Structure 1
C-alpha cells in the first residue's frame, strides 16, 4: 500500500437531503447543537462549533432522503489541480462550479458508484458574531451548550454496489489510503475505511445488499468524549429520536458510537474516535474476516439487521 499523498486535507462538508426540512433542521440545531450560518433557496448551512470553515452540513429540502454532494478541501491550489487532472483521466469529472457560500471554485465529480463530490482549495475562515465569540482564540466559536454539542463532522459512510472499486478510486485518484477492510470468505471486499491524514478514517464504503448505487449508509459527527455519547442517548430519548443501536464500541476502528435516525430518515452516527490516530507512513490495511465480523461489535453486541438493510434514499426513490 503506497504512502499517503496528502493531496486532500480533510472532508470539509456534506450535503444531506431531507423530505422533512423543518423537522430535520430542528434536529440538527436543537438535538445535535449545530449553528445556522445562512441559507440559499431550499438549503440551510449549518456548522459544528469547532469547524474553522463556513459550514459542516448543507441541509437541502428534497423529495426524498439521501446524500447530496460531499466537499473535500485540497491541501493546496497545486494539489487541487493535480487531483482534477487525475479525476478527468478517469472520465468521472462533471466540471467547475462557483461553489457554495464560504468556498471558492469547486470541481464537481462522481465516484464510480455515482456519489457526487467536489474538491476546492479556497475557503473562508469562519468569523463568529459577538454572541458566538469564544473565550479561547484558538476555538472557532463559543461552545453552544445545546443538545449533544457535536464538535466536528467526522466521516461519511457510503453504500456502494462494489466497495472495493470505490475504495481503490479514493486511493488511486484522491491519494487516500485504506486503513481497515472486511473480506468475506468468497474473497469479496465488503467494506473499506479510507483516510487522507492522521485521522484513521474519512470516507467509508460498504457493499449495498440491495445492489443499488449512490446511496448513503450514514454521516457521522464527533463528540469530545465517550461520555458525550452516553449523554447523547439520553438526549435522543428525551426528544423522541429513534435510536437504532448503541451506545457501544465498534471492533473496526474502535469507535464508540450511537446511531440514530434524523426526521428525514437518514442515519446519523454520533461517535468518539479521537483516541485512534495513524502516524505510520507504511501502514498496511488491517483485514477482518467474515468469521471475525460474525462475533459482532467489540464487546459482543451483534450487528443489528437494519445496519445491513437501511440506507437512503429508500430503494426505488432515487
Structure 2
C-alpha cells in the first residue's frame, strides 16, 4: 500500500515543528481537575452557576461551595469561595499516576520553586500546592473519588456520570482557564518545561515578545492559556471557560442571558485562534466566564507544530473579521486601579 503525500508546504511545516519548544513527554498531567473562583457575592455567583449554567451543588464548607458539571467524573468542577474581590484561586491538575505526580513535583522543585502538601478539599486526596512564576496557585494530585449520582440525578446511560440538567445552558465540563500574566513567556515556559504541557498556538508581537500562548495536557487543543496583563500585575484571571455540546447551545445561552439579565460582554462569535465558537458573560462577582464549543478541534499529531500569529494578523480581529471588544483587553479580576 503506497502512502499518499500530505498536501501543503513541507518546508513551512518543518519550520513550525522546529519552533515548538522542547518539553517533557505528554501525559503526566491527565487534565484540569477543577478551579477555584473568588467572589464578593457567593450566593449570587452560585445562583449564576446553578440557574444559568446548570451546574449542581455537591457540598458546602464554610466559605466554599463545591459545584460540578454533569459530565465530570470527579466530586467538583469548581469551588466558589467568598473573598472581598473576584479572581482566580487554586487550579487543580490531576496527574495520570502516583509516579507521574512525583515526577512533576520533582521537576517543579528542580526549577527552584517550592510547594507543600495539603488535604483541604472533599473528594480528592492530598494536593501538592505550588505557584507558577506569575503567582497563580497550582495544585497537583492523583487520588480522587469518582462521583456517584443520587437517585434524583441518576443518568439514563450507565456511561454518563450524571443526568443532564433540565434547566439553564447545561454546560458539559470545565474546559480551560485563561490567566493574565506579567510575563507570558516565563509562565508558559514553566508550564511546558515542568508540567509537560504542549504549546499549540501563540501570539508574537513585532518586537518579539510573546503576548499570549495556548497549552494542552491532552488531545484537546488547549487547557491553560496565558495572556499578557496590560497592567503589569500578577496572579490575575482573564476568564474561566465551560464547554457546551453544540454551537446551538451557545446561541441558546445568549437568549437565556438576555431573558435573565446576565451581562453579555461579547459574542456569539468565532475565534481565529483555536477556532472556538464563544460567548463571554460576567458572573455576578465580576469574573469573566466563557461558554465555548471547541469540540471540533483535537490535537492528534504527536509532532503538532506551534502555530504563531503575528501582531498584524491579530489586528484583523476574530475569524469573521469582527473586531475584538476593548474590554476584552482591559477587564481582568481582581480589578486594578
TM-score range, shorter chain: over 0.9
Structure 1 match to 2:79: 58
- RMSD over aligned CA atoms reads 0.9
For 1:288 and 1:165, the matched residues in 2 are separated by 19
Structure 2 match to 1:186: 207
Counterpart pick for 1:251 among 272, 277, 286: 272
- Cα displacement (A) at 1:192: 0.2
- Cα displacement (A) at 1:89: 1.7
Residues 1:220 and 2:241 aligned together:
yes
Residues 1:312 and 2:295 aligned together:
no
For 1:211 and 1:42, the matched residues in 2 are separated by 30
Local SS of the residue matching 1:312: coil
- Cα displacement (A) at 1:88: 1.4
Residues 1:91 and 2:112 aligned together:
yes
Counterpart pick for 1:209 among 227, 230, 235: 230
For 2:200 and 2:78, the matched residues in 1 are separated by 25
TM (norm. structure 1) is: 0.98
Counterpart pick for 1:287 among 265, 284, 308: 308
Local SS of the residue matching 1:228: helix
Counterpart pick for 2:61 among 40, 56, 64: 40
For 1:315 and 1:287, the matched residues in 2 are separated by 30
- Cα displacement (A) at 1:146: 1.3
Structure 2 match to 1:137: 158
Structure 1 match to 2:46: 25
Local SS of the residue matching 2:274: helix
> Which deviations, in whole Å up to 9, do the C-alpha atoms of 1:38-91 show, x marking residues without a partner?
011100000000000000010001111000000010010000001011111223
TM (norm. structure 2) is: 0.93
- Cα displacement (A) at 1:197: 1.2
- Cα displacement (A) at 1:173: 0.2
Bigger Cα displacement from structure 2, 93-102 vs 53-62:
93-102
- Cα displacement (A) at 1:99: 4.0
- Cα displacement (A) at 1:93: 2.4
Bigger Cα displacement from structure 2, 241-250 vs 91-100:
91-100
> Which deviations, in whole Å up to 9, do the C-alpha atoms of 1:252-307 show, x marking residues without a partner?
00000000000000000000000000011111100000010000000011011111
Unaligned runs of 5+ in 1: none
> Which deviations, in whole Å up to 9, do the C-alpha atoms of 1:211-257 show, x marking residues without a partner?
10000000000000000000000011111011000000000000000
Question: Which has the higher Rg, Structure 1 or Structure 2?
Answer: 2
Q: After superposition, where does 1:29-178 map in structure 2 within 5 Å?
A: 29-178=50-199
For 1:262 and 1:5, the matched residues in 2 are separated by 34
Unaligned runs of 5+ in 2: 1-19
- Cα displacement (A) at 1:164: 1.1
Residues 1:240 and 2:248 aligned together:
no
